[in-house]
Amino acid sequence: MKHCLIVDDSSVIRKVSRRILEEMTFRVSEAENGEMALSACRNEMPDVILLDWNMPVMDGYEFLTHLRRMPGGGEPKIVFCTTENDVGHISRALDAGANEYIMKPFDKDIVTAKFQEVGIM
Amino acid sequence: MTELDFDYLCTFLKARSGLALGAEKRYLVESRLIQVCRRFEVNTLPELVTTLKAGRNHSLENAVVEAMTTNETFFFRDKGPFDLFRDVLLPRYLNSRASARRLRIWCAAASTGQEPYSLAMLVKEASARLAGWNVEILATDISTEVLDKAKAGLYSQFEVQRGLPIQLLLKYFKQEGDQWRIAPEIRAMVDYRPLNLIKEFGHLGVFDIVYCRNVLIYFDKPTKTDVLRRLANAMAPDGALLLGAAETVLGLTDGLSPDPVNRGLYGKSAEAATTLRVAASA
């Protein structure tokens, strides 16, 4: 069973994402911000990370930059999932090593399509 | 809506579009046609049927056909048929059409444009190998309403996220508020025309690749057979036909046969292709 880490400061989004991902037969863990997500990755590197952009403590962009420098941090597929939906943010995320990008709001079809695109399904 | 009204709608839709509706589609008919009623300020479905029977309101007739034949689609739908285009068909025709340098592609049920634009993006991505080639993409649909949307090339955030890789979104779309517009160079690669597949389409000429996905499922068996026979006639002897995952030629025509390796891909049967080659050289 593939492991997905959801990183989002909104408990509602984490709950909705968890439901979608569990329906897609993923094992799911959660983190509320980038710092907690880095700690989770040191403990166990997930197969894929569904990553919010705007979060307190450490945002998604900063988390990704740190993650890609960690040993084994190049492995997880990164799918941004954010309300930041302009070309500038998307380009910046891809340059930092994101594999795909979901613009909120989203549904199961979109998550499925994006996960297929990055080869995790 | 009475049984008689439903029967009338089934007969009307069959005659106009080839759409074969069973009793299990009654809910779908009601839910879609209620929206047509609202648009045309018709109070009830029986009143809509009465108006159709009078045969004087052509825009209402078209709206009924369009409401029942329009289906949701998305970019690179099912992925496989587009991988086939990039990895199998394009290399095949780059080789076999090397002297003519011409490739004709037909999307026979183009809907709101996602399929032809997906192919156009793949052609564009292969432009280095296609330098000097004339690649035509004809996109047809029975519904002029969906073709208008296709021509506009403007899609919602939801629509561009279903199947379209983010790199291609950035490369071939421009953001307009909450929506995304296809780039002019991709839009210009696709020629849109209205066409009803149950009517004659021989005038469109001969195609190397035909995408006719998820439309035959709505036809009854004789209509499927007739459309497939005419599609085969519209294909080059070594032409390729791509059908939807739930569709097949088996038991419907001998003129087409499944590719032994690639699922969803069909070619002319050896006998049919030979007959055509002989006829062409005669």
Mean pLDDT of B123-143: 96
| CB contact (8 A) between residue A113 and residue B170 | no
CA distance B3 to B221: 24
Tell me phi and psi for residue B55, to 5 degrees. Answer: 70, 25
Judge whether A114 is closer than 8 Å to chain B, CB to CB: yes
- pLDDT band at B273, cuts 50/70/90? low
- Per residue in A72-90, pLDDT (tens digit) is 999 999 999 999 999 999 9
Closest of B233, B224, B229 to residue B205, by C-alpha: B233
Structural domain count of chain A: 1
Host domain of residue A8: 3-116
Query: Does any domain span residue A71?
Result: yes
Q: Are A14 and A20 in contact (CB under 8 A)?
A: no
CB-based contact (8 Å) between A109 and chain B?
Answer: yes
* A34 found inside a domain: yes
In a domain, A42, yes or no: yes
Residues of chain B with Cβ-Cβ distance to A103 below 8 Å are: 157, 161
Measure B82 CA to nearest chain A CA, in Å.
13
pLDDT digits (tens, 9 = 90+) for A28-63: 999 999 999 999 999 999 999 999 999 999 999 999
A-chain CB neighbours of B79 within 8 Å are 116
Q: A110: domain CATH number?
A: 3.40.50.2300
What pLDDT score does B25 carry? 84
Mean pLDDT (whole number) for B133-161: 94
Nearest residue of B to residue A88 by CA position? B170
Per the listing, tokens 């509602």 go with A12
- For the beta sheet containing A48-51, the strands, ordered from the edge strand earlier in sequence to the opposite edge, are A27-31, A3-7, A48-51, A77-82, A100-103
Q: Tell me if A5 sits within 8 A of A11, measured CB to CB.
A: no
Strands B207-212 and B102-107, bridge-based pairing: parallel
Is A93 within a domain? yes
Contact B161/A117, CB-based, under 8 Å? no
In a domain, A52, yes or no: yes
Average pLDDT, chain B: 92
Name the residue with tokens 């403590």. A57
Burial of A97 (0-12, 13-18, 19+ CB in 10 A): middle
Q: What is the pLDDT of residues B181-230, one digit of tens each?
A: 999 999 999 999 999 999 999 999 999 999 999 999 889 999 999 999 99
- Verify whether the Cβ–Cβ distance A109 to B175 is below 8 Å: no
Closest to A79 in 3D by CA, of A39, A44, A114, A29: A114
Q: How many of the other CB atoms lie within 10 Å of CB of B248?
A: 16
Which member of A94, A103, A109 has the closest CB to residue B157?
A: A103
Is residue A14 one of the residues assigned to a domain?
A: yes
Amino acid making up residue B16: R
In a domain, residue A86? The reply is: yes
Amino acid in position A21: L
Please name each of the domains of chain B with its CATH number. Answer: 3-69 (1.10.155.10), 80-281 (3.40.50.150)
Flag whether A121 is in a domain.
Answer: no
Residue B271 φ/ψ, nearest 5 degrees: -65, -45
Tell me: pLDDT of B58 over 70: yes
Q: What is the pLDDT of residues B59-100, one digit of tens each?
A: 999 889 888 887 778 999 988 999 999 999 999 999 999 999
Sequence-ordered alpha helix ranges (H) in chain B: 3-17, 26-40, 45-54, 58-69, 80-84, 90-96, 114-125, 144-152, 157-161, 166-172, 184-187, 221-233, 270-281
Confidence of residue A16 (pLDDT cuts 50, 70, 90): very high
Write the burial class of residue A67 (CB in 10 Å: 0-12 exposed, 13-18 middle, 19+ buried).
buried
Considering only CA atoms, which of A61, A117, A94, A91 is closest in space to residue B175? A91
Phi, psi of B210 (to 5 degrees): -120, 120
Q: Cα angle at B165 between A51 and A56, to 5 degrees? A: 15
- Residue B27 pLDDT level (bands cut at 50, 70, 90): confident
Strands (E), chain A: 3-7, 27-31, 48-51, 77-82, 100-103
User: How far is residue B176 from each of residues A35, B57, B133, B157, B182, measured CA to CA in Å?
Assistant: 35, 37, 32, 10, 10
Is the torsion defined by CA of A56, A60, A63, A65 positive or negative?
negative
Higher pLDDT, A16 or B25: A16
**The residue to which tokens 């989770």 are assigned:** A40
The answer, yes or no, to whether residue B281 has pLDDT greater than 80, is: no
A101 contacts chain B (CB < 8 A): yes
Residue B53 has pLDDT above 70, yes or no: yes
A-chain residue closest to B163, CA distance: A113
pLDDT band at B276 (very low <50, low <70, confident <90, very high): very low
CA neighbor of B266 nearest in space, from B140, B19, B244 = B244
